[in-house]
Structure 1
Amino acid sequence: MAKARQSAGRTGRPKQATDEYPFQDPHARDDAGARLLEKAIGREVRAFREKLGMTITELAKASGLSAGMLSKIENGGTSPSLASLQALSRALHVPVTALMRTFEETHSATFVKSGQGLEIERRGTRAGHQYNLLGHLPTGPLVVEPYLITLSAESDVFPVFQHAGTEFIYMLEGEVTYRHGNRTYRLLPGDSLYFDADAPHGPEELNSLPIVFLSVISYVRS
């Protein structure tokens, strides 16, 4: 049996972990989360200070903190007390919550397993055009919609699409003659096309089937 690193004796000292029976301090803080918060606060303090054109020494004097402590806060090296945050917020003329805003922001992500994209029917879609939406974020001023598009022998030819924003196409499989405005492009695997989606566009000739390409449409959210 492994020897205990420190055992409890009659002195009443707490028993410490052994190799076989490790334990965690129930009062220990979540170091990972705390470090993220410390770094977020530090970034905001530095950003507001620089926006005001203040030096560390000037902000330290205005807030009543030492320059060394302020430097540690800006570098995410220490967790400032509520009193320190209040002093900094007064000196920087911002609310305390502004010093933690980047930590509290919600950042979304969409993960789609291979073959599990949401199959949808977009406005203007013709028969046989299979659209699989690969991701979507519901917030933000810019909408970005990535689609995996498959054209088969059942797909209509000469479809013409028009919509707001821009579109990027990247060919994965097959060969297609793609029209944009008054020009056509012969697209093979590895080719890409980026264009203003307000102009009429779409596959004009399905040269080699099946045709698979990635289409990324972006536009400003209305």
Structure 2
Amino acid sequence: MTQDGPIEKEQLVYFKIGGIIRKYRKEKDMKLLDLSAITGIGSAMLSKIENGRMIPTIPTLFTIIQKLGISPEVFFSQLNADNKFPGYYFLPKDQFTAYEKEEGAKGFEYFSILEHSMETGGAFQISILQLKPGASRPLVTTSAYEFIYVLKGKVDYMLEDKSFEMTEGDALFFDGNIAHVPLNRSRQTVSLLVFYLFTDARS
């Protein structure tokens, strides 16, 4: 994410951006294609922004919130966070937050453990993904590096034309710009630990 003005990137929780945009879009009963038409931003890019798979540049973000009729002050007040690291975080599992990553995805349940913007630039997000039997979605890309660790079950992880059979304890690290999707071919729910690392160079 580029800096263009007095907004200090280390004071913003990047991963709230997409959810806030989606909330305002739905409140106005707009589809992605409607927002694309008035902003001039492709619907595919808007989808990636809303799904947290891409952090928009400041000019792109300002275009979106302007066309949605949101004042910058109101929008950014929802992103502000005390980002001074106290030295530790205790994260009780009952405080993990469910969120939607892709609209229309079947059997993908995400729970955010920790979202943090770093003083040195960039940000990371740690989530749990519960993958139901028969879960499905198209291949996607993410403007981040991703680390996957299998907590429970077996999964086939697709990276374009490659497939990795993963069982409990296996891990996978990859460039999220490679199209990817996990496939649960079993009859049991699979649990994955997912780590996203966003860096300024990839925003």
TM (normalized to structure 2)? 0.51
Among 48, 61, 84, the alignment partner of 1:106 is 84
For residues 17-36 of structure 1, the aligned pairs below 5 Å read: none
Q: Which amino acid aligns with 2:181?
A: G
Q: Which amino acid aligns with 1:146?
A: I
CA deviations over 1:96-122 (Å, ceiling 9, x no partner): xxxxxxxxx932554320242111112
For residues 70-149 of structure 1, the aligned pairs below 5 Å read: 106-108=84-86, 109-123=88-102, 126-140=105-119, 141-149=121-129
Q: Which amino acid aligns with 2:84?
A: T
Aligned pair count reads 117
Equivalent residue number for residue 69 of structure 2: none
| Structure 2: distance between partners of 1:213 and 1:125 | 20
Among 130, 139, 143, the alignment partner of 1:150 is 130
Q: Which amino acid aligns with 1:179?
A: M
Equivalent residue number for residue 19 of structure 1: none
Equivalent residue number for residue 178 of structure 1: 157
RMSD of aligned residue pairs (Cα, Å): 2.3
Contact 2:127-2:195 at 8 Å conserved across structures: yes
| Identical-residue share of aligned pairs (%) | 21
Equivalent residue number for residue 200 of structure 1: 179
Contact 1:112-1:134 at 8 Å conserved across structures: yes
| Structure 1: distance between partners of 2:94 and 2:166 | 23
Q: Which amino acid aligns with 1:106?
A: K
Distance 1:206 1:110, change over 3 A: farther
| Structure 1: distance between partners of 2:108 and 2:115 | 20
Distance 1:210 1:156, change over 3 A: closer
Q: Which amino acid aligns with 2:138?
A: P
CA deviations over 1:124-157 (Å, ceiling 9, x no partner): 671221101101124531211111010123x532
Equivalent residue number for residue 148 of structure 2: 169
In structure 2, runs of 5+ residues without a counterpart are 1-82
CA deviations over 1:143-174 (Å, ceiling 9, x no partner): 11111010123x53253120112100000111
Q: Which amino acid aligns with 1:149?
A: L
Contact 2:135-2:183 at 8 Å conserved across structures: no
| Structure 2: distance between partners of 1:193 and 1:177 | 11
Please tell me whether Structure 1 or Structure 2 has the larger radius of gyration of its CA atoms.
Answer: 1
Q: Does the residue aligned with 2:105 lie in a helix, a strand or coil?
A: coil
